[in-house]
Amino acid sequence: MRLPYFDAHCDTLSRCLHTGESLLKNSGQCDLERLGAYQPAGQIFAIFADSADIPPEERFGECRRQAELFARSRERMKGAVLSIEGAELLDCDPGRLETVRDWGVRCVNLTWNHANALSGSHREEPERGLSEKGIAFARRAWELGILPDVSHLSDAGFWDLVRAARGPILASHSNSRAVCGHTRNLTDDQFLAVRDSGGVVGINLFTAFVGGDGSMDALLAHFEHFLELGGEKTLALGSDWDGDITGAGGIRGAEDMCRLAEAMERKNYGEDLIRAIFYGNLARLLQI
C-alpha cells in the first residue's frame, strides 16, 4: 500500500520561526521533505504562541509572521493548510477571521490552555462555557468555512458549541478520556457529538495523552475504543508534532508514521480503514 498522510495538528511553524529553521527541512519532528514521502500528503500547520508570553498588541503580528513563513513554502505541498491555536491570538475578534481565512486558515481552536473572552479552557476556568461573543465567533467561523476546533476547550464550552453548531466540529488533536483520563481527551459522549456533526477527531501521539506505558498498543487502544463507537469516518491523525512531545509507540516524527500503519495492519484494520484514518476522513472534512 502506498501510504497517504494528512495530519490535523503540528506546532512546526512556531518552532521554525523561533529557531530560524526551514519548513522545508529541519531538525524537528515534521517538515515538508518528510511529508513528501507520503502520497498524497497533507498537514494542518498551527499558528501558535503562548499568549502569556506576548503582549496583547503583539499577538496578531506574531500570527502574521508565522503565516508569512508558511506562505514562502506553501507551493511545495498542495495539502498544506493553516490553523490558529487559541483565538486570543486574534484578540477573540470575529472580524479577524476573514483576514486569516485569506492566509489559508481552515480551523481555529477557540482556546488553547488559557481561558479567554470566548470560553474557559480545559485547564483554566473549566466550568465556564461559551460567552455570547464565543457563540458569535464560532458561527462566523462556520460562515467563512473555518472549522471551530474543540481541542483544549472546556467541557462546558464544548457542549455550548454543540448546541450552537452551524456545521462540523473538529477535535484536531485529542484522544479518548475513557482510555486515558486526561482533561485534554474526549469523553465518549463528546466523541459521538463530533461524529454526529460530520466532524473529525485527530488522535494525538503525545504519550501524556496516550497514557499507559506509551507503547504502540496503548496508542492503538484510542483508535480501537473510538472505532467501537462507530468512528470509521471520524478518526484521523492529530500528531502534535513539535509541540514538545514524545511520540507514543516509538514514533519519533512524521517519518515514522509507517510504523502506525503497520501496527494497524497487524490488527487487521484493512486497507480502506487505514487510508480513511491516515488521509480520507480529514481530506473529506476540508474538501481537499
User: What does the domain layout of the chain look like in residue ranges?
Assistant: 5-286
Q: What is this structure's pTM?
A: 0.97
Q: Is the pLDDT of residue 75 over 90?
A: no
For 204-247, write each residue's pLDDT tens digit: 999 999 999 999 999 999 999 999 999 999 999 999 999 999 99
The burial class, CB within 10 Å (0-12 / 13-18 / 19+), for 192 is middle
88 vs 16, 19, 59, 234, 276, CA distance in Å?
21, 23, 8, 28, 33
| β-bridge pairing 200-203 and 170-171 | parallel
pLDDT at residue 52, as a whole number: 94
Using one digit for the tens of pLDDT, what is the confidence trace for 101-120?
999 999 999 999 999 999 99
Q: Which residue has the cell 497533507?
A: 42
**Residue 77: which pLDDT band, with cuts at 50, 70 and 90?**
confident
Q: pLDDT at residue 1 above 80? A: no
Spatial CA neighbour of 10 closest among 194, 154, 26, 2: 26
Q: Between 3.30.360.30, 3.20.20.140, 3.60.110.10, 3.10.129.10, what CATH number should domain 5-286 receive?
A: 3.20.20.140
**Confidence grade of residue 74 (pLDDT, cut at 50, 70, 90):** confident
Residue 190: is its pLDDT beyond 80? Answer: yes
Q: What is the DSSP letter of 147?
A: E
